[in-house]
């Protein structure tokens, strides 16, 4: 077999370059070394290693790239220390990647394009020329128009506009598309705002690329502060529903602050490094009162204080599960994370009230050690259990999750096996806690997240020989597996209070 293949630069439709050496840093494709008074040159390789989990198995694949000439370069499996080359997993050919830059201007009309031509224009940043084509592709998907109706529903909910079905005009070879404003006026798509077009571009692109790793460049472009948190939640939820994954590049402080406690965040300052840890100075700076806080206070009229983004994710998941009115209020609230410190919430709240005296606030705490200070303007509530994760810490919930995880990743035949593995892990940790005198994991006073759920999932995935896919930031996925009769009434009580504060009725 050949050790590698030759790739022409024109085949890189998502990264168009006029010459191949532009892919190398500082255009350096070769390096020289001195040995025995002689100068030797060697190629500088670009090495890319990707890790993932597919079909219930962890895999790792690496490729290296050598410069050939201005028009092409070589690609082959990464060389290992023993002289062999890394194997390329067979199933990696099923892995789909899609790249999407931000919206670029407005196009008054669009000709119908094949999928390849659409991808070329997207790679060149000419997204305004393919927006209608993407919508037309979603409209024609073989799913009974479900994807199209979902897309229309999202745009209606976010912008109050009703999308009309895209139409192909055969005589001109063009695709036309209109929408209705909240006032009922029908306009061409080019008349919509940049924020709506950017959001439609994102959602249509994701709907057209199911089960895909999406590379999104500045998805918050053209969006004001209030929309940025909203689009982050929409993108992550859409990716979850479509069994996809999102790699997002953004400078938005709002998106960074939202993602920091829920997802992996990498800062490309100096050597790329993760900053999604609670001790980061970057996050500390982002949580100080800034202009965007006052802007959101003025626009929303109320502020929600929670320990972290995981609490918001869990509350929103419960609201959706219960079809509660709070689901709408929790889609894009002005939320400030205070790490379970009542004094911090009060300082922030009253700092904002100096600029907006009629600001309303609601704070939810994880059983603070001291009695909550009385404040007529800032409504405060403390969970009766140790923390919000205690309302998810139930054996039936955990077993249901394990069974569904096994069914979705490895097939129906493995569902019972995954359930039994979870049951065995629960028994081991439950016994260990009892032996150490730390009580039962089902005790409402136990710190469920750190003392039980985190080590439980770590052991569960170790037993399956998989990387841990459920960290503390992911516990909100358990909400869908809580049996109806086990949803604590206190959850609905808190959601009711949130709605009252948001609407200014209390």
Domain shared by 373 and 297, yes or no = yes
Q: Are 353 and 415 in contact (CB under 8 A)?
A: no
Chain segment 330-351, per-residue pLDDT in tens: 998 999 999 888 888 998 898 8
Domain shared by 257 and 322, yes or no = no
Q: Are 43 and 84 in contact (CB under 8 A)?
A: no
Neighbour tally for 249: CB within 10 Å: 13
Residue 107 burial (10 A CB sphere; 0-12, 13-18, 19+): middle
Q: Which residue has the tokens 């630069």?
A: 9
Please give the residue range of the domain that contains residue 273.
251-279
**pLDDT at residue 316 in the model:** 97
> What is each CA distance from 115 to 29, 189, 208, 243, in whole angstroms?
33, 21, 11, 21
Of the two residues 304 and 435, the one the predictor is more confident about is: 304
Point out the least confidently predicted range of 88-102, 195-209, 272-286. Answer: 272-286
Chain segment 76-85, per-residue pLDDT in tens: 999 888 878 8
Domain shared by 111 and 189, yes or no = yes
Q: Which residue has the tokens 């710190």?
A: 447
Residue 288 clears pLDDT 70, i.e. is over it:
no
Domain shared by 239 and 106, yes or no = yes
Point out the least confidently predicted range of 170-174, 288-292, 479-483. Answer: 288-292
Domain shared by 209 and 118, yes or no = yes
Domain shared by 232 and 109, yes or no = yes
Domain shared by 154 and 263, yes or no = no
Cα(79)–Cα(68) distance, integer angstroms: 18
- Tell me which DSSP letter residue 453 carries: I
Domain shared by 325 and 293, yes or no = yes
Domain shared by 25 and 167, yes or no = no
Domain shared by 495 and 361, yes or no = yes
Chain segment 179-235, per-residue pLDDT in tens: 999 999 999 998 888 889 988 998 999 888 888 888 888 888 778 877 888 888 888
The pair of structure tokens assigned to 14 is 């998502």
Domains contained in the chain, number: 5
Domain shared by 292 and 309, yes or no = yes
Average pLDDT value for the chain: 87
Could you report how far apart the first and last alpha carbons of the chain are, in Å? 73
> What is each CA distance from 259 to 81, 221, 242, 265, in whole angstroms?
37, 17, 20, 7
Domain boundary pick from 226, 261, 279: 279
Alpha helices, H only, 436-505? 448, 454-463, 489-503
The enclosing domain of 369 has a CATH number of 3.40.50
Domain shared by 37 and 165, yes or no = no
Q: Are 99 and 129 in contact (CB under 8 A)?
A: no
Give the DSSP per-residue string, 371-400. PPPP-SSEEEEE-SSSSGGGGT--HHHHHH
Domain boundary pick from 62, 77, 93: 93
Chain segment 134-148, per-residue pLDDT in tens: 999 999 887 768 889
């Amino acid at each position: 077999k050949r050790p590698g293949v030759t790739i022409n630069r024109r085949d890189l439709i998502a990264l168009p370059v006029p010459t191949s050496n532009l892919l190398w840093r500082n255009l350096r494709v070769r390096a020289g070394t001195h040995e025995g008074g002689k100068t030797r040159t060697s190629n500088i390789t670009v090495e890319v290693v990707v890790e993932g989990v597919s079909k219930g198995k962890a895999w790792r694949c690496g490729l290296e790239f050598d410069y050939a000439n201005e028009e092409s370069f070589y690609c082959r499996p990464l060389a290992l220390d023993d002289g062999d080359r890394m194997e390329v997993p067979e199933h990696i050919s099923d892995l789909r990647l899609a790249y999407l830059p931000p919206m670029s201007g407005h196009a008054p009309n669009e000709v119908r394009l094949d999928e390849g031509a659409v991808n070329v224009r997207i790679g060149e940043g000419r997204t305004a020329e393919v927006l209608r084509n993407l919508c037309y592709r979603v409209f024609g998907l073989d799913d009974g128009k479900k994807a199209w109706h979902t897309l229309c529903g999202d745009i209606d909910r976010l912008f109050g506009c009703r999308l009309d079905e895209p139409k192909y005009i055969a005589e001109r070879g063009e695709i036309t598309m209109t929408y209705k404003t909240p006032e009922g006026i029908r306009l061409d798509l080019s008349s919509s705002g940049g924020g709506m077009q950017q959001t439609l571009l994102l959602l249509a692109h994701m709907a057209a690329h199911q089960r895909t790793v999406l590379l999104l460049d500045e998805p918050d472009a053209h969006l004001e502060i209030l929309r940025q948190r909203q689009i982050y939640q929409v993108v992550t939820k859409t990716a979850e529903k479509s069994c996809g994954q999102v790699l997002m590049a953004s400078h938005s402080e709002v998106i960074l602050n939202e993602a920091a406690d829920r997802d992996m965040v990498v800062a490309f300052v100096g050597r790329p490094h993760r900053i999604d840890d609670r001790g980061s100075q970057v996050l500390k700076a982002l949580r100080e009162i800034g202009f965007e806080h006052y802007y959101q206070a003025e626009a929303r009229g109320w502020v929600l204080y929670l320990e972290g983004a995981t609490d918001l994710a869990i509350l929103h998941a419960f609201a959706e599960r219960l079809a509660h009115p709070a689901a709408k209020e929790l889609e894009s609230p002005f939320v400030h994370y205070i790490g379970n410190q009542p004094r911090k919430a009060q300082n922030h709240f009253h700092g904002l009230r100096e600029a907006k005296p009629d600001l309303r606030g609601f704070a939810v705490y994880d059983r603070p050690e001291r009695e909550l200070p009385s404040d007529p303007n800032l409504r405060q509530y403390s969970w009766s259990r140790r923390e919000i994760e205690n309302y998810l810490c139930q054996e039936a919930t955990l077993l249901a999750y394990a069974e569904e995880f096994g069914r979705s990743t490895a097939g129906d035949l493995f569902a019972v096996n995954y359930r039994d593995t979870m049951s065995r892990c629960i028994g081991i940790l439950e016994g260990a806690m009892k032996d150490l005198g730390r009580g039962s994991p089902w005790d409402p006073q136990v710190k469920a997240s750190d003392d039980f759920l985190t080590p439980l999932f770590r052991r569960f995935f170790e037993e399956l020989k998989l990387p841990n896919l459920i960290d503390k930031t992911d516990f909100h996925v358990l909400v869908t597996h809580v049996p109806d009769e086990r949803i604590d009434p206190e959850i609905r009580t808190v959601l009711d209070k949130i709605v009252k504060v948001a609407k200014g009725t209390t």
